[in-house]
Structure 1
Amino acid sequence: MNIQDSPSATPASLEDALLSVLTKASPGTLSAPEIAHAIAPEGDWHGLLMPIRRSAVALAMAGRLVIYRKGKPADPTDFRGVYRLGLPRHD
């Protein structure tokens, strides 16, 4: 799947791609660059980093994924620096 090939790529399609990559990695976590590279392995995946962050915040606020900072869940509205993404655990 290469989200960048579609000039009309919507945030929803990026969210779907992001969740798909995380589902394959479950139960682990992935960094934004790892997800971007999985979505666009042949293309310029660097351009996906900010859209992935925006989509991750929206998905985290909806409870569909968790943003981790230093191994702990982070507030999706207030985090900085290096982060990882994972699916919510249902323990």
Structure 2
Amino acid sequence: MDNQQHIADSQRPGGVVVIPELNGWVSVTDRLPVPFESVLLFGIINAPGYMNECCEMGYYNEKFIVYRSMPEIEEFEITHWHQLPDPPRY
């Protein structure tokens, strides 16, 4: 099976393409999330004294808005995003 077939087979509702090699993560250069939909954000922290990679939660509205778990970090270069999982069923 070629990559085009993988992409066609992995099409999710809402038009999000999930490429198996990225485990559900979508590069911001390939596609942006639906505006105002909360998503996981992965990126690089450009601040001394912190790990280089970070995962936060946020949304997109002409730019990424991050719900900060570390408000002191201002330089967070977002490289990928991921849809949130379905909520638990009670």
TM over 0.5: no
Question: Higher helix share goes to which structure?
Answer: 1
Higher Cα Rg, which structure: 2
Q: Using structure 1 for the length normalisation, give the TM-score.
A: 0.34
Question: Higher strand share goes to which structure?
Answer: 2
Q: Using structure 2 for the length normalisation, give the TM-score.
A: 0.34
